Amino acid sequence: MNTYHFEEHHLLLRDQVRRMAEKHVAPIASEIDETCRFPEELVEVFGDMGLLQLWVPQEYGGPGGDLTSVCLVKEEIAKISESAALLAANNSFGLILPVLNFGTEEQKRHYLGLAAKGRTLTAVAITEADTGSDVSSMKTRAVKDGASWVLNGAKIYITFGPVAHFILVFARTSEGRGTDGISAFLLDTSTKGFSVGKEDRKMGIRGVPNAPIFFDNVRIPEENMIGPEGQAFKTCMRILDLNRPTVGATAVGLAQGAIDHAARYARERKQFGRSISEFQGIQFMLADMQMQTEAARCMLYDCTRMADRQDWDGFSAKASMVKCFASDTAMKVTTDAVQIFGGAGYMRDFPIERYMRDAKINQIFEGTNQIQRLIIARHMLRH
């Protein structure tokens, strides 16, 4: 793997995570997919390595990782299991990034200090039954009552919802135009009136629990609001910009893992008295798969360098490009990998069909790739 602009600590982290993934993730990767089991044992492993809390600054007791670090970790783990990769830095989107970027100093000391211990799991609740990309149609409401907000409504497809300790909930607090009037709250999932529905049965990432969640007069202290009242959509977009490259990193790792499996199988599989890796058709497929993945990787770490240097000019569009291109690449590469395996690739005796199933979600969540293309085009037309 090219070292790009990585510093020594990035390379050290990458190598440590690679060894950890081989030891702790590889032995259970197929089993958690087969049984749809959340690998709870990895929480301690990841937390002890600082991987759950990677983005917590050192001043609040964390490792002080940057976007490049987070993406390197996700890429390495995703080569073996996307379900496990999604657990790494799980609390970034739901807690660390919103508090770090929009929280008060008191919120930072409390929540970042808690996250720094490496055991806190979080989720983000935006999507509703009639509200996907159209956030302005949100029906969940929060009404002020004294020193609290009373929350009512429901969300669907909440990743890590059944196991989260805190959920960043977006709810309408006033009637405004478009996305104005939407606020964000950190909800402790032990709060009375909060409940989780039946877990969703998914095509892929089966080791990651998803479920609908419900709010029945859930009372949230006013100090749990993150950012200014009614302006949470802007909070959401800033955090999504930072999180989208991590989706790209997961997709790149997934694609590389599929390539590695396909190349190994091509060397071992014999047809017509020869290894199929000697056939030009297979060689062309492998070459295209690696070129596409390497292009996505270059785009990814160019984007992370922008964020780590605080270069925000054009970052939002670049983050969308990374998420879109890398996830499209992973879908194509994993599909081609199944083709190289032939009939065996369609069987669950080999992990490659899991890679293909897992790849699809990256084109959908954190903003569909159609939405990413809109963001990119609008940036182009403005500038």
State the pLDDT at residue 3: 61
Every domain range in the chain assigned CATH 1.10.540.10:
8-115
Question: CATH 2.40.110.10: which residues of the chain?
Answer: 122-230
| Structural tokens at position 18 | 């690679």
Residues 6 or more apart from 330 whose CB is under 8 A from it? 251, 252, 254, 255, 258, 296, 359, 362
Phi, psi for 131 (deg, rounded to 5)? -135, 100
**Could you tell me if 334 and 353 are in contact, meaning their C-beta atoms sit under 8 angstroms apart?**
no
Residue 307 CA to residue 305 CA, distance in Å, equals: 5
What pLDDT does 39 receive?
A: 97
Task: Please give the pLDDT value at position 237.
Answer: 81
> In the numeric block, which tokens belong to residue 223?
């100090």
Q: How far apart are CA 342 and CA 21, in angstroms?
A: 28
Strands 148-159 and 141-145: antiparallel
Strand extents, DSSP E, 189-253: 194-196, 210-221, 225-226
CATH class, 8-115 region: mainly alpha
pLDDT of residue 131: 82
The CATH number assigned to the domain with range 233-382 reads 1.20.140.10
pLDDT at 178: 74
Q: Give the span between the Cα atoms of 110 and 90, in whole angstroms.
A: 18
260-293 in b/e form (b: 16+ CB < 10 A) is: ebbbebbeebeeeeeebbeeeebeebbeebeebb
Q: What is residue 130's predicted lDDT score, i.e. its pLDDT?
A: 83
**Contact indicator for 356, 338 with CB cutoff of 8 Å:** yes
DSSP sequence for 23-66: IIIGGGHHHHHHHT---THHHHHHHHHT-TTTTS-GGGTS----
Q: Which pLDDT score, from 0 to 100, does residue 364 have?
A: 95
The whole-number pLDDT of residue 383 equals 82
**Predicted pLDDT of residue 179:** 80
Among the options 75, 128, 353, 366, which is catalytic? Answer: 366
Can you give the pLDDT of all 383 residues of the chain as single tens digits?
Answer: 466 679 999 999 999 999 999 999 999 999 999 999 999 999 999 999 999 999 999 999 999 999 999 999 999 999 999 999 999 999 998 999 999 999 999 999 999 999 999 999 999 999 999 887 788 889 999 999 999 999 999 999 999 999 999 999 999 999 877 788 999 999 999 999 999 999 999 999 999 999 999 999 999 999 999 999 998 887 778 888 999 999 999 999 999 999 999 999 999 999 999 999 999 999 999 999 999 999 999 999 999 999 999 999 999 999 999 999 999 999 999 999 999 999 999 999 999 999 999 999 999 998 999 999 999 999 999 98
Token pair recorded at residue 294: 């390497």
366 a catalytic residue = yes
Q: Does domain 122-230 have CATH number 3.90.209.20?
A: no
Structure tokens at 230: 């009614």
Closest to 195 in 3D by CA, of 151, 252, 130, 228: 151
User: Which amino acid is present at 118?
Assistant: G
- Position 229 scores a pLDDT of 93
What's the token pair of residue 141? Answer: 């409401």
